[in-house]
């Protein structure tokens, strides 16, 4: 079994003072909308009236998936290492946006089906060269699951030990929308048809085929385990239909929360990682800030299930942490208004009382 996590909900001791400080800024009550909610959440997580997100970091976990052999993606598997190199060379969208906002970027190989040359931005934590084709057999062994979770734990610790106070996560892996839809189906009991979308641009026939592969894979897993899906543990689910980079993200989220550090959830795949992390330790949800609602079909359903209010809705479906980094300036603004905006008293402005 993988590492156990002890995650308390953020203490409410400071909540009344935080709300008072927010309400007494020179504005009508609630006038800064979701920025007020973010400031309140960050203050509770950090247990301070002056939350700080000035030391962020973006971590992208990358891996390949055996189920790609079933023709569930428009792109071949070799695109995964090619895109990893694009990240490292600064050519990807997330690379450009991280550079724009001066956010350090790290790429972590947890299962790319290629040998990757050493690079200053690359974390080498390869569990295996791709997961197995879960339509035919379990996606991974217990030992591989443990290594994937631990990769995320270690990356979160490395960042937090270095002073990072806001973590952002992204992913890269051809076929990982299929894996995510399969995990979502198993985790919340929706149909494969409802959880399956276009991914990198499948047509209707391609989406239908992907949903069929997911249905067949889950039936295979039920037969092999002798357990119906609702009875699966987090471990069984991950071993049967998980993906290395998704589980590494979940491990990083769990460790971030355990160390009382807020993290930003990107799009659909990242939200599935949180959904899995929540099955492991429910309070992890309290430390998550949701960047955006993506264009992927099932993401709104998943956000509703998580009772999440995303910051942005820009019709994105790129993944790779792109929505998270685009939301960062607004998250930072939530801290800045709380820390620097005048109060009615300090500005000599009459309030509404």
Residues in a beta bridge with 221: none
Catalytic residue among 36, 146, 296, 320: 320
Please name which of 347, 338, 334, 353 lies closest in space to residue 26, comparing C-alpha atoms: 347
Q: How many angstroms separate the CA atoms of 339 and 114, rounded?
A: 47
Sequence-ordered list of residues with C-beta below 8 angstroms from that of 4, at least 6 positions apart, any chain: none
Active-site residue, 36 included: no
- DSSP H stretches of helix in the chain: 15-23, 34-46, 79-88, 93-100, 142-161, 176-188, 192-195, 204-225, 234-241, 244-258, 268-280, 299-305, 322-340, 344-347
Instruction: Give the distance, in angstroms, between the CA of residue 160 and the centroid of all CA atoms in the same chain.
Output: 17
Relative to beta strand 263-265, strand 166-172 is parallel
Residue with tokens 């208004």: 337
Q: How many angstroms separate the CA atoms of 206 and 193, rounded?
A: 12
Which residue numbers are catalytic? 320
């Amino acid at each position: 079994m993988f590492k156990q996590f002890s995650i308390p909900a953020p203490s409410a001791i400071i909540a009344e003072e935080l709300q008072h400080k927010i309400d007494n800024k020179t504005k009508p009550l609630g006038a800064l909308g979701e920025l007020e909610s973010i400031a309140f959440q960050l203050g509770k997580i950090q247990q301070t009236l002056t939350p700080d997100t000035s030391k962020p970091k973006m971590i992208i976990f990358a891996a390949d998936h055996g189920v790609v052999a079933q023709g569930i993606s428009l792109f071949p598997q070799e695109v995964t290492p090619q895109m990893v190199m694009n990240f490292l060379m600064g050519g990807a969208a997330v690379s450009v946006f991280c550079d724009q906002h001066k956010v350090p970027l790290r790429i972590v190989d947890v299962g790319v089906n290629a040998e990757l040359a050493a690079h200053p931005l690359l974390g080498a934590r390869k569990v295996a060269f791709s997961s197995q084709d879960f339509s035919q057999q379990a996606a991974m062994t217990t030992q591989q699951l443990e290594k994937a979770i631990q990769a995320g734990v270690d990356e979160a610790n490395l960042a937090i030990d270095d002073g990072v106070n806001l973590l952002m996560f992204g992913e890269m892996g051809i076929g990982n929308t299929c894996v995510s839809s399969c995990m979502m189906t198993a985790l919340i009991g929706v149909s494969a048809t409802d959880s399956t979308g276009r991914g990198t641009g499948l047509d209707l026939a391609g989406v239908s085929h992907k949903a069929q592969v997911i249905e067949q894979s889950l039936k295979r897993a039920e037969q092999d385990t002798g357990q119906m899906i609702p009875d699966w543990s987090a471990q069984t689910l991950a071993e049967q239909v998980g993906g290395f980079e998704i589980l590494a993200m979940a491990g990083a989220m769990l460790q971030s929360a355990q160390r009382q550090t807020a993290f930003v959830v990107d799009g659909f795949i990242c939200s599935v990682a949180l959904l899995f992390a929540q099955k492991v330790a429910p309070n992890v949800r309290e430390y998550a800030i949701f960047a955006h609602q993506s264009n992927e079909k099932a993401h709104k359903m998943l956000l509703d299930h998580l009772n999440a209010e995303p910051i942005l809705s820009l019709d994105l479906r790129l993944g790779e942490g792109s929505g998270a980094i685009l939301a960062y300036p607004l998250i930072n603004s939530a801290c800045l208004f709380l820390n620097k905006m005048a109060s009615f008293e300090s500005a000599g402005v009459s309030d509404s009382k």
